[in-house]
Amino acid sequence: MSHDPLAGCRVIGFDLETTGLQSRSHRIVQFAVLGSDVDGSAIHYESLVDPQRRIPADAARIHGIQDADVRGAANFGAHIDRLDELFTDAVVVGHNVRRFDWPFMADEYLRFGRTMPEPRAIIDTLEVARRLKLPKPHGLGSLCRQFRVSLEQAHTAGADAAATLLLLWQIMEAHPRPFRRTMDDLQTWLSGSQASSGGALGRGYDDLEPFDSQGKLRIDGENLVFAFGRHRGDTLSTVSSTDPDYLRWVRSPSGPLTNADRSLLSDWLTTKTAD
């Protein structure tokens, strides 16, 4: 590729295994963070996690992790400091990571009273497949077969995280044109949003009036636009319907807004609901 948007970035594949599908009621039992740092050094941080509850049989049948496997393992809180270091300002790559893995992380952080790290970008290979209109199905295993990526021990966090990284590279090689853009514009393309940090895709955030004291939310007519994080360029109404857990985190005391700004946002949402 003539332009590699990942060049000079910490790039990490990320995957979780859990006790179920609902982030608010289920817990993480295994995570894996694999990739390379800015200097090219390898990153491999993987662990079982004590979910502090029983692992349902249905979940164990998928990932093979039993109660006995996590007995004696540390809980999620023991890993937060290291995960903060790895995720902050990194390009996070995962499959269905935006709607599954990241909300699980957000809820775990909330349980321990911590603020989520802010990555440089999130690249979801499921979103990539949909944006490129690749042949269905778009499951990780199916896409790996389509792009000749080996996926052994599927549904273990390490194997899935590694396979997703390789899958992204293969997709970028096969379809280079969409990736010949900056990382910010790549995020905008993946989200399908027209808001951007500037340039040909429309008004930049600097052209929009800040809503809060830090400018993390911007006013665009009757809408608020996220100017930070993984939903950069998305309207608040879109995030409210597609990723409500993320909006709950933004509005929570452990989120990125000050107390005054959270109150301002609550008042704005109340007004919109009344309308």
**Where along the chain do its domains lie?**
1-180, 181-275
Report the run of H or E that residue 146 belongs to, with start and end.
helix 140-146
CATH of domain 1-180: 3.30.420.10
pLDDT of 39:
94
- Using an 8 Å Cβ cutoff, are 256 and 115 in contact? yes
Which positions of the chain have pLDDT values less than 70? Answer: 1-3, 192-207, 273-275
The amino acid that residue 98 corresponds to is R
Cβ contact 263:213 at 8 Å = no
Alpha-carbon distance of 275 to 263, in angstroms, equals 18
Q: Are 186 and 5 in contact (CB under 8 A)?
A: yes
Non-local (6+) Cβ contacts of 192 within 8 A are 131
Check residue 195 and give its pLDDT.
Answer: 41
